[in-house]
Amino acid sequence: MSRIAFIFPGQGAQTCGMGKDFYEQTETGKKVFDRASELLGFSVPELCFEPNDRLDITEYTQAAMVTAGIAMMRVLEEKGIHPDVTAGLSLGEYCALAAAGVMSDDDAIATVRQRGILMQEAVPAGVGAMAAILALDTAVIEEVTASMEDVWIANYNCPGQIVISGRKEAVEEACERLKAAGAKRAILLNVSGPFHSGMLTEAGEKLGQVLLQTEIKSPQIPYVANVTAQYVTEAAPVKELLTRQVSSSVKWQQSVETMLADGVDTFVEIGPGRTLTGFMRKIDRAARCFNVEKLEDIDKVAEALKEA
C-alpha cells in the first residue's frame, strides 16, 4: 500500500487566480473562501482572483495562500483521497496543521493573518534580505554563516539549494564569501523581509502570544515540523514549534527525508506552482509526486492513485 503525504508550498508560490476554479465550481471551495472573508473582514476571492498589489504583501499573502491551500485540500478529500502524514514549507505548515486536524480551518486562516502582519512589521523594508545559494556543500554554508553576524540559514530546500537570510549588508557579504568558496550562484531573492532569521525572533514571540488563544488538538495523523524535521504526534509541543518557526531554519529537505524513511512514497503538492515537486526531484527521484493546483488535477490524481 502506498503511503501518501500531503505537502503545501510556502510564501512566494502565490499567483493571481489561485483557487478560482475551486471557488466557482465547488460548494466546498466556495465555503472556505467565503468563510475566510468573514473571518478577515475583506474579500479573499478579490485578493486571490483579481489583479492587485496586495497579493505579494506578506500580511495579505499568508492568509491568501492558506485559504487557497485549504480549499483545494478539502475538495481533494471529498474525492476520498486522504494523507497518512502531512507537512508544509514555512507558511505551508499551517495548511498541514489543518490537514492533520491540529488546528481548525478557521484558526489556521486567522492565525496566519496575524503571523503575516507581525512578520511584515518586524523589520523595516530594505533592511533585511534573503539569497539562494546554489551548488555548494551544506557544511561550507553552515561554516561561513556561523562565522558571521546577522546572517542565518533560512531554508534547507534540497541538495544544492540553501537560502540564507538576515541584515541586507551581511547577506550580500555572505554571498560574496560563498561564491569565493565555490557556490555556483548566489541570487538575492525578491522578498519583503529577512524571514527565518534571528531578526524575526521578536515577531515569533508575539505570534506565541496570539497562539495562546488558539485551540490546538492532538494530530489525527502525524505532521512534520519545519523546526525539527520530526513527526509531531501530540498537541503539547505545537505552539512552541510554531513560535520558533518564524525565526528558525526551515528543514525542508530533512522533513522529506523523515517521511521517506517512514515509507512515504507518494507526495501530493497542494497549492499554486510546483516548487516542492522540483525540490523532490533532487531529494529522491524515485518518489511519486502529484500536483493539485487546478480543479481538473483532482481527477487526474484520483485516477493515478487508483491505478497504483
Q: Catalytic amino acids?
A: 90, 196
Strands (E), the chain: 4-8, 85-88, 128-134, 151-158, 161-167, 185-188, 223-224, 231-232, 266-270, 288-292
Integer Cα distance of 284 and 263 in angstroms = 13
Domain with CATH 3.40.366.10 in the chain: 4-123+198-307
Q: Does residue 134 have a pLDDT over 80?
A: yes
- CATH class of the domain whose range is 128-188: alpha beta
- Say if strands 151-158 and 231-232 run parallel, antiparallel, or are unpaired: unpaired
Q: From CA 61, how far away is CA 25, in angstroms rounded?
A: 23
Q: Cell 475566510: give the residue.
A: 36
65 with 91: CB under 8 angstroms?
A: yes
Residue 191 has pLDDT above 90, yes or no: no
Query: Amino acid identity, residue 176?
Result: E
Span between the terminal Cα atoms of the chain, in Å: 9
pLDDT value of position 190? 84
pLDDT digits (tens, 9 = 90+) for 122-131: 999 889 999 9
Separation CA 264–CA 126 (nearest Å): 41
Res. 300: pLDDT tops 80: yes
**DSSP β-ladder status, 4-8 and 266-270:** parallel
Residue in 60, 77, 115 with CA at minimum distance from that of residue 246:
115
User: In sequence order, what DSSP letters do the residues of 238-294 get, joined into one string?
Assistant: HHHHHHHHTTS-B-HHHHHHHHHHTT--EEEEESSS-HHHHHHHHH-TTSEEEEE-S
Whether the predicted pLDDT of 213 surpasses 90:
yes
**pLDDT band at residue 307 under the 50/70/90 scheme:** confident
Q: What is the mean pLDDT of the chain?
A: 97
Reading the block at residue 156, the C-alpha cell is 534547507
Encode pLDDT of 237-280 as tens digits.
Answer: 999 999 999 999 999 999 999 999 999 999 999 999 999 999 99
CATH 3.30.70.250 segments of the chain: 128-188
Record the pTM. 0.97
Which tens digits make up the pLDDT trace of 5-40?
999 999 999 999 999 999 999 999 999 999 999 999
The distance between the two most distant Cα atoms of the chain, rounded to a whole number of Å, is 55
Which pLDDT belongs to residue 72?
A: 98
DSSP H helices in 123-237: 138-146, 168-180, 201-211
Q: What is the mean pLDDT of residues 199-228?
A: 98
Dihedral angle at the C-alpha atoms of 99, 105, 107, 110, nearest 10 degrees?
A: 120
Q: Does the structure show a pLDDT above 70 at 51?
A: yes
Q: Kindly tell me if the per-residue pLDDT of 80 is higher than 90.
A: yes
pLDDT band at 78 (very low <50, low <70, confident <90, very high): very high
Read off the pLDDT of each residue in 111-122 and give the average, rounded to a whole number.
Answer: 96
pLDDT-based confidence at residue 306 (cuts at 50, 70, 90): confident
Domain covering 4-123+198-307 in this structure, CATH number: 3.40.366.10
Query: Inter-axis angle of helices 58-78 and 295-307, to 10 degrees?
Result: 50
Q: Give the other-Cβ count within 10 Å of 73's Cβ.
A: 28
Q: What is the pLDDT of residue 272?
A: 97
What local confidence, expressed as pLDDT, does residue 308 receive?
Answer: 64
Q: Which helix (H) or strand (E) holds 66?
A: helix 58-78
